[in-house]
Structure 1
Amino acid sequence: MKLHHRTILLAATALGGAVATPVMAQSADQGSANDIIVTAQRIEQRLQDVPVSVTVFNQETIDNNAVSNIKDLAQYTPGLQVNNRYGADSTNFSIRGFTQEQRTTATVGVYFAEVVAPRGSGASFGGDGAGPGALFDLQNVQVLKGPQGTLFGRNSTGGAVLLVPKKPTDVLEGYVEGTAGDYDLFGVQAVLNIPLADTFKVRLGGEHKQRDGYLRNIGNLGDGKYGSKGMGNLDYWTFRASVVADLTPDLENYTIATYTKSKSNGTIPKILDAYPGVLASGIPFGDMAYAQYQREAAYDPWTVSNRLPDSQSTIEQWQIINKLTWHASDNITVKNILSYGEFRGKTNLDLFGTYFINPNVTPGTETSGSQVGGFAFTHINPWTGLTNAQSTFVGELQVQGVSDDGRLNWQIGAYSEISDPLGKSGVLTATFSACGDITTFDCPLTVLPNYIAPGVNGFFSFGSINGQLSSTKFEDYATYGQASYDITDKLKFTAGIRYTWDKQSTDVQQLRPRLAQGIYFCGSPVGVSRTSGTTITATTPFPISGIYDGCHDIQSKSSKAPTWLIGLDYKPVDDVLLYAKWTRGYRQGGLSIFSPDTTQPYDQEKVNTYELGLKSSWRGVIPGSFNISAFYNDFTNQQLLLGVQDLIANTDGTPTAPPSASIVNSGSSTLQGFEAELNVRPFEGMRIGVAYGYLKTKIKELVAPTFAPGSPYDTVTLPNVGDPIPNAQPHKLTVSANYTLPLPESVGQVTIGGTWLYTGKFRSVADGTDGRALNGTIYSSAGAGIVPSSNVLNLNLNWNNVGGMPVDATLFVTNVTKELVILNINENTSRGFVSGLIGEPRMWGVRLKYRFGQ
């Protein structure tokens, strides 16, 4: 097998290639889909001819709706959802209900210029996506729904998001753009395209944007590392350089280099509800949560309380992509793709937004985190300085061909992806603790039952502080082939297959400090193989100074599987396409690296997707297009994040293990629904678009995992059979309208537009157990894990070619009605509170762009 893998890697790094880099174009007239070109099947095709459910955004749509991060696109895309629990810089996607849990690989692949995004380490969210600054100077963004594993590099069950940058052209051109608005919004963007020769073209671009946070922090410990800018602020720089060199008439070299650096105070949840009297481990969490709830309720809804003075969410990422395309003949094109990128991230965030002030301290006078307790927060591990540090190499060799009569189109390829750690990365996670400085373990100890620690103004710290270090390597290799044959002029048959080999290897250190004694204990159970020279168990102490000498746990997990596509397309007329297909999707197995050792490995999951679709477009008096697809997903061996606990009394004298979580293959589910998009132009200058997605998910089967010998854990928390899959949105509706005023060319083109976004209520997490109050009252948690519905209205006014000059002006307002949008839920009724991330309030801004050249 090793020889086979090396052969694929060498082939993928040799001279080769496929079709030329796509030249994307989306018509400004959204009423017609005939001019939209996509690359959903790795070749240029008209959108209406592709048997794939695709939503396409051009740069104009992105700009008019003030989309700064790729997470914002989910608002406009039925079936697409993001999890931004760890901030805007560390989002991950789900499509049609296929949700990525922490410590698993992505269910949706994000591709920039045909190359998958650099991986994260797997220890925390980050990487595997597109951060701030990825959405400038693009041809378009394509959201492909459903498994795309036959032709696209990294296997995933949900789908793919394709970002297509503008390619250097043979015209001297460019633009400079400035943006300003409320919350001290300031941005600048510039692009310059230079044809240095007929065969050598360069395109340079950069963007900087900063904006104060929309979450007002009423805590007294500061907004975070980057000053009094509020929580949820923006501050990023991004640069891009592209070069096209035509080495011969048949040989093109296309290179893209990108760099992004983003820093913010991060985004934390808000207390949404509280239950006075509810206890947690003998502490009246409900009373303290209710006190925080009342303090925040005195202000507007966009108010939170931050207890980490150095709260932050930062990323630094760079990537170089090289594509060499050789038109070997009129019928065969070869492409070689090489890429190398690095991702580094830092995350200090309160995961639940709790800010419980010591009862002996007057609110507003607290000066240290040791006076403020809470449920849980995560922090950079001081021995690494990074929570995420990973490099990713990608090599792909692709050959595409067409028969002489044009009836057979085919492509074959080999793919390799190697992601190496950039040293160790990790976090410190504190639970039920109040810490002045977690990096020095300044967390006053508590003497129960009065929960007030000895010392001056100390507060409760009776839970756990886990130190976690890891280095993770991913290896992914695949070969694939796909072909389409025109059985008749109207009927086409397509079949494709891919075989993938995946492996994850980790070196993990999980440590639990005993603060009073200055020693560590391994955070893993007994009976596992370790790399240290002596046997260390979960109850063997060793000095803090020796953390690199013990507690190593090295594991690996391999998986392999075929994926395939079988489909039929039927075109009764040129502008109508009917299609049916069966797709097998696969997501690799892996390691839940900070879970208990005996529950770390988990197996691959798979899905069988059956889809029927119709695509149609028309011209005439009211031109337009209508696309609809219906799908049924049979999802098995599902990777679920489940809580594990040590609840049964230990008889061997070992201490009770702290609560943890692990990924287990414990489920099978069905996901079914449909998506429809209608675009029409009822009269000259008017464009209307409607998109709706319906999704119904159901957990069919759950199997409780068994615990291996030596595991201290004995209890697992399972969701309910029959419940929907968390974070699957049943209803999403988008309605947009744009009207271009009938003005003379000398005035310019003025367009008034708006978009209404409706998201139905959905379950974010399973409801917890009932919380019991001191007075015997039971606070039901039924429905506590459900996110309510929301309605958001965005408006924009665009004036292109102002006064006949190459100047464009835009005024935009987002969330006009100041709708309070809840993005997700932390359901903790058993601990006295419910919290959740909330979306942005009303924001406005103006943008001015000067264009030069053609």
Structure 2
Amino acid sequence: MKGDFLHPITHMPRSVGLAASALALVTASPVAAREGRIDMPSQPLAQALRSLADGTGVNILFAPDAVAGLQSRPVRDARSARDAARAMIGKAKLDVFADASGTLVIRRRTETAQARPNARPIKYAALPQAVSDARPAVPLPPQAAESIDDIVVTATRREERLQDVPLAVTAINGVELRQSAIQDVTQLRFVAPALQVTPSSFGNSVPGYTIRAQRLQESLITQDPSVVVYFAEVAQMRPHGTNQALYDLGSVEVLKGPQGTLFGRSTTGGAILINPARPIFETEGFASVTLGNYDLRSFTGMLNVPLGETLAVRAAGKITRRDGFYRNAFNGLRTDGERTENARLSLLWEPSDRFTSNTVGSYYHENSPGSSFRLQYIRPGSSADTPALRAALALQQANGLDFVNNDLQPYAKVKVYTLSNTSALELGEHTLKNIIGYRKVDSDIALDYDGTTQVFFHTRNTLQTTQFSNELQLYGKLFDDRIDYIVGLFYFREKGRDIQYSVLGGTRVNDGLGRNISYSAYSQLGYRLTDTLKLTAGLRYTRDERDNQSRNLLNGNCRLRNSDGTTPVPCVKDYSTHFSSPSWLVSLDYKPSRDLLFYLSHRRGYRSGGWNLRANLPGEQVPFRPETVYDVELGFKADLLDRKLRINAALYNQWYNDIQRNVNFGTPVQTVILNAARARIWGGEVEATAHPTDWLELRGAFAYVHPRYRSFNGLSLGDLSANRFSQAPARTVNASARVSLPISPDMGEAGVRLSYYHQSKIQLADINGFAEPGYGTLEAGANWNHIGGSPFDLSLFAKNLTNRRYVTSGVVIYSSSGTQTVQIGQPRTYGMELRYNFGRAAR
């Protein structure tokens, strides 16, 4: 029997003997170790496993033919044999298992677990290509407090441990999203400090994203966002449809601060990366039904099937129906409801260990009762100060925020199609990667902005856009891993039509046909000055081309004017311009141990200029310039108390120039975008996770932001520098506790959760109206996975337990036309989810 093994066995657990004829238990050559860390060079995988076993004293079991011909990945700073094995295997089609004795088992993904009856999968926390929101296998009863799992993120365009990334990043994996009952992007603010996701002026169907006080006030095809959402590594430039359900995901990452170097669309505020679960080479799936108050009915399903050894397909979808939260007193119909369908199909092709290609296609459709508005304030002496609107305001105040009385019944009709492919070819220590993406948006949204039965301010917005992008990257390591680098080229093209029909001081049509093209080249290099000190520098150069054809009408008459004051015939004006700008990053990080990181970074971010969609007069028919942000960020990341406590914190200071702001003026009111302001923003965030015992997990986060204008030219409105940034609460707090219940592993895994969120007061618009007070909400949940050893999971959830009424967003034209109207947050909701898992998801 000895000849069947790669190395002589000095000791053999009894369970190993069952497979002795086909498996190898190894202990061999030495491993370089520094302060308890494991470093290993690239070498044949079988040899690497032998060295790891000998150097750590951990038994490692594998079939020789499973690793034959494979080369290990270099290992640096691994804390345990488990981490080192995962690192050296890399993207090879192998899984790592551990049994109760601590033996590590390496096997092909397509093999069954029967080779080791007592083996269990190691938890791959937040690894995008391996983790879905399927329930992980139930672990054996822990003997002590569990250490906090590593989280792998792609904030630097390659996979790295969160604790190794010298940037402020919040990452949530698919399992955590499901346990916290986070069902759409608007709920991410409850777990990610410094992030605000609230309805925009176009309602719930077009979210507005704020990171560190930076936000795009109104989504127009002629203006880029401050915060960009990436889905499957492709920028979603228009926020329409980004509120789709968060289902079957690998992870969500929130990157804070300027992202101008490595990400294709330069942003000044940050980025949100939504990573769908990738196909795997095992059969798995689930089907779930969710029921709740307001007649909530939601059905979610996923099926993953390998098609041979090189191809795997994953299909997922979700259908949601929910009655509106409020009944419109004007016509008896519901508002603020949800009627959506989501579908996604992913195809993974891995013809070799060196090449992978992942294609993702998705579809989103919404036909919902739209967002309702409530009249909150009227400015005395304004055009809104009429007896009819005063009576409507009194009626609203008498009935409270739950009262809706809109003569224009709101609706939201949105369709979004996306298609992307990410392919990567490994060339030794280097990887060539290409990301191609396509997105089509078709949106039609109607809203009653005055919030009354009077025809004072109504609007309907239609948007049809298509976008195409391609990004080519080459990244890798040089000189025995002392240098890591990435270089890339990026191309983006968008074309679409944005039409706003409105009634405000007459019947208006603002019609824009836009074309946006962006080219950029970038490079970033990290150099290890010592084993603990690393210097990183990156540069990106971007050229943006912005074209717009405009048609603006008031009461059927052309509002456009030529430079000589005449009216163009036909009523059309063409505009074209371009902008170019560098972005950069310089950072220094110090890592005295695997569990501790300090860093200091400086970045320059850039957001493209553009055209005023509503420009009429020659003085308004000029482009607004790009805005820029310079920042300094100081942070640390620490895993303490044998990784039972994790604390990540960052302080930052930003200098914000040529700020693009919407300014309302004139009679009838006119809205233009100007480079009106300069500002300074400083603040900080801290996130903490603790596992004080094996049955308790505590999380908490605090964010503070202090944005102040240095100047703000409001044209005829004068100096507006005393105004506050919109949708930027100075303080946000979130805290949660999860308790695992003491039940036998044979009965499954059960737990209860309680969480709290609080934010301070906010302003709703760039030109301030009345501030909205801060608020806090309480949530609770319970789950029982693998009920009684069955493949069924049961979850209960309750949100806004105290039924708190609070304002989320609104439309403020108080200084011009004289009104402030608001949207309010969701009332108390509760429900249950029953889920059936099969295949790998059931283990």
Structure 1 length-normalised TM: 0.79
The whole-number CA distance in structure 1 between the counterparts of 2:290 and 2:617 is 50
The whole-number CA distance in structure 1 between the counterparts of 2:390 and 2:784 is 49
Q: Quick check: 2:198–2:204 contact (8 Å CA) kept in 1?
A: no
Q: Does 1:569 align with 2:589?
A: yes
Structure 2 match to 1:537: 566
Pick one of 759, 762, 785 that aligns with 1:800.
785
Q: Does 1:260 align with 2:260?
A: no
Q: Does 1:131 align with 2:243?
A: yes
Q: Quick check: 2:355–2:424 contact (8 Å CA) kept in 1?
A: yes
Pick one of 283, 298, 320 that aligns with 1:187.
298
The whole-number CA distance in structure 2 between the counterparts of 1:267 and 1:698 is 31
Q: Does 1:788 align with 2:773?
A: yes
The whole-number CA distance in structure 2 between the counterparts of 1:249 and 1:587 is 39
Structure 1 pair 112/289, CA: closer, same or farther in 2 (3 Å)? same
The whole-number CA distance in structure 1 between the counterparts of 2:531 and 2:814 is 62
Q: Quick check: 2:713–2:720 contact (8 Å CA) kept in 1?
A: no
Identity %: 29
Pick one of 420, 424, 430 that aligns with 1:332.
430
Q: Does 1:301 align with 2:401?
A: yes
Out of 197-206 and 240-249, give the one that drifted further: 240-249
**Aligned-residue offset at 1:645:** 1.6
Pick one of 599, 604, 615 that aligns with 1:579.
599
Please report the RMSD computed on the Cα atoms of aligned residues, expressed in angstroms. Answer: 2.3
Structure 1 pair 561/766, CA: closer, same or farther in 2 (3 Å)? closer
The whole-number CA distance in structure 2 between the counterparts of 1:642 and 1:735 is 38
**Aligned-residue offset at 1:767:** 6.8
Partner deviation per Cα, 1:526-572 (whole Å, 9 max, x = no partner): 427xxxxxxx934x8xxxxxxxx611111023111000000000012
The whole-number CA distance in structure 1 between the counterparts of 2:766 and 2:279 is 49
Q: Does 1:232 align with 2:336?
A: yes
Structure 1 pair 469/835, CA: closer, same or farther in 2 (3 Å)? closer
The whole-number CA distance in structure 2 between the counterparts of 1:591 and 1:101 is 15
Residue correspondence of structure 1 range 457-536 to structure 2 within 5 A: 463-513=505-555, 520-527=556-563
Q: Does 1:106 align with 2:203?
A: no
**Aligned-residue offset at 1:55:** 1.0
Structure 1 match to 2:720: 720
Q: Quick check: 1:271–1:835 contact (8 Å CA) kept in 2?
A: yes
Structure 1 pair 173/698, CA: closer, same or farther in 2 (3 Å)? same
Q: Quick check: 1:642–1:718 contact (8 Å CA) kept in 2?
A: no
Structure 1 pair 65/34, CA: closer, same or farther in 2 (3 Å)? closer
**Unaligned regions of 5+ residues in structure 1, if any?**
1-18, 121-125, 223-227, 356-371, 381-386, 432-462, 514-519, 529-535, 541-548, 647-657, 705-714, 769-783
Structure 1 pair 767/158, CA: closer, same or farther in 2 (3 Å)? closer
Pick one of 823, 827, 839 that aligns with 1:841.
827
Q: Quick check: 2:506–2:554 contact (8 Å CA) kept in 1?
A: yes
Greater relative contact order (Cα < 8 A, sep 6+): 1
**Aligned-residue offset at 1:271:** 2.5
The whole-number CA distance in structure 1 between the counterparts of 2:742 and 2:722 is 55
Structure 1 pair 766/395, CA: closer, same or farther in 2 (3 Å)? closer
The whole-number CA distance in structure 1 between the counterparts of 2:574 and 2:688 is 53
Structure 1 match to 2:460: 379
Residue correspondence of structure 1 range 128-277 to structure 2 within 5 A: 130-133=242-245, 135-220=246-331, 228=333, 230-273=334-377
Structure 2 match to 1:611: 633
Structure 2 match to 1:516: none
Residue correspondence of structure 1 range 630-649 to structure 2 within 5 A: 630-645=651-666
The whole-number CA distance in structure 1 between the counterparts of 2:269 and 2:249 is 23
Q: Quick check: 2:662–2:766 contact (8 Å CA) kept in 1?
A: no
**Aligned-residue offset at 1:588:** 0.3
Residue correspondence of structure 1 range 698-713 to structure 2 within 5 A: 698-703=708-713
Structure 2 length-normalised TM: 0.80
Structure 1 pair 234/170, CA: closer, same or farther in 2 (3 Å)? same
3-state SS in 1 of match to 2:189: helix
Structure 2 match to 1:314: 413
**Aligned-residue offset at 1:303:** 2.0
Q: Does 1:758 align with 2:758?
A: yes
The whole-number CA distance in structure 1 between the counterparts of 2:728 and 2:577 is 28
**Unaligned regions of 5+ residues in structure 2, if any?**
1-89, 92-126, 140-144
Structure 1 pair 571/204, CA: closer, same or farther in 2 (3 Å)? same
The whole-number CA distance in structure 1 between the counterparts of 2:818 and 2:545 is 42
What is the identity, as a one-letter code, of the residue corresponding to 1:73?
A: L
Q: Quick check: 1:302–1:841 contact (8 Å CA) kept in 2?
A: no
Q: Quick check: 2:373–2:406 contact (8 Å CA) kept in 1?
A: no
Structure 1 pair 88/767, CA: closer, same or farther in 2 (3 Å)? closer
Pick one of 195, 212, 215 that aligns with 1:96.
212
Structure 1 pair 823/741, CA: closer, same or farther in 2 (3 Å)? same
The whole-number CA distance in structure 1 between the counterparts of 2:796 and 2:718 is 49
Structure 1 pair 31/664, CA: closer, same or farther in 2 (3 Å)? farther
Structure 2 match to 1:732: 732
Q: Quick check: 2:510–2:613 contact (8 Å CA) kept in 1?
A: no
Structure 1 pair 829/527, CA: closer, same or farther in 2 (3 Å)? closer
**Aligned-residue offset at 1:254:** 1.2
Structure 1 match to 2:44: none
Q: Quick check: 1:695–1:729 contact (8 Å CA) kept in 2?
A: yes
Structure 2 match to 1:677: 687
Structure 2 match to 1:394: 469
**Aligned-residue offset at 1:22:** 4.8
Q: Does 1:354 align with 2:452?
A: yes
Q: Quick check: 1:642–1:716 contact (8 Å CA) kept in 2?
A: no
Q: Quick check: 1:823–1:839 contact (8 Å CA) kept in 2?
A: yes
Residue correspondence of structure 1 range 806-845 to structure 2 within 5 A: 806-827=791-812, 834-845=820-831
**Aligned-residue offset at 1:156:** 0.5
The whole-number CA distance in structure 2 between the counterparts of 1:332 and 1:266 is 49
Equivalent pairs, count: 700
What is the identity, as a one-letter code, of the residue corresponding to 1:609?
A: D
**Aligned-residue offset at 1:75:** 3.2
Structure 2 match to 1:291: 391
**Aligned-residue offset at 1:265:** 1.9
The whole-number CA distance in structure 2 between the counterparts of 1:248 and 1:826 is 55
Structure 2 match to 1:443: none
**Aligned-residue offset at 1:86:** 1.4
Q: Quick check: 1:639–1:667 contact (8 Å CA) kept in 2?
A: yes
3-state SS in 2 of match to 1:504: strand
Pick one of 171, 185, 192 that aligns with 1:56.
171
**Aligned-residue offset at 1:331:** 1.2
Partner deviation per Cα, 1:368-406 (whole Å, 9 max, x = no partner): xxxx332x11125xxxxxx10000001011001211411
Q: Quick check: 1:32–1:679 contact (8 Å CA) kept in 2?
A: no
**Aligned-residue offset at 1:747:** 2.4
Structure 1 match to 2:39: none
Q: Quick check: 2:208–2:217 contact (8 Å CA) kept in 1?
A: no
**Aligned-residue offset at 1:763:** 2.5
Q: Does 1:79 align with 2:214?
A: no
Partner deviation per Cα, 1:5-39 (whole Å, 9 max, x = no partner): xxxxxxxxxxxxxx979536599899855411111
**Aligned-residue offset at 1:583:** 0.3
**Aligned-residue offset at 1:668:** 0.6
Structure 1 match to 2:74: none
